[in-house]
Chain A
């Protein structure tokens, strides 16, 4: 079945460092891909999404490109801030399965001043 694999955390970076969180997926058909972020004690917030191959999603300095050839959707940010500390989830919406989302296990990011 469809699945999502994320790099394991926790990831600890210094402020202004470059961030990459790897995400690969297995899916049939043409899924949509998402990155969600969860701050402590809160629900999930959509960070960005891409609905077809070669689409680039971007928001708040974060970017991810839907790569069908490598089945990847890596999250990147050029310069992280302390306020980016959170748990990041990669997710896919399987083809033809309505509103179901399949999530990766999450990557905890901690940014130190």
Chain B
């Protein structure tokens, strides 16, 4: 089975712009979670989607949003980018929500200038 794929792998944006990141889960997986990884804050949970519904949300401002499509693919969007949004954004998929093992993609490296 193919693993979790994320596109693009690298992205450079300027302050004030918006960005959309994409995640394709492992085939058959219905839950997708997103995480932000920075040197200062470590790995922080953004949100989880299951069957096109947001199940859980971390402590991030409303500029961070996401959605999930009927084929379980997910996108996250960050509007009005700030320098502090520079990070590695990781998505993870699992069969269903809850305590199922999460499988991570390679991440999208976002740099905000």
Contacts and interface: CB of A to CB of B under 8 A. Distances in A.
Given A43-B90, A43-B104, 5 more contacts: A42-B107, A49-B101, A98-B31, A98-B48, A102-B45
Interface in B77-113: 90, 92, 94, 97-107
B42 A97 contact: no
A99 B102 contact: yes
A103 B42 contact: yes
Contacts of A46: 101-103
Secondary structure call for the B interface: strand
A101 interface: yes
Interface in A1-44: 32, 34, 36, 41-44
B31 A42 contact: no
Nearest to A97: B56
Q: Which 3 pairs show the lowest CB-CB distances between chains A and B?
A: A43-B104, A103-B43, A44-B104
Nearest to A45: B104
Given A32-B99, A100-B48, A43 B56 contact: no
Given A93-B99, A98-B98, A99-B31, A44 B55 contact: no
Contacts of B94: 99
Given A98-B55, A98-B97, A43 B105 contact: yes
A106 B42 contact: yes
A105 interface: yes
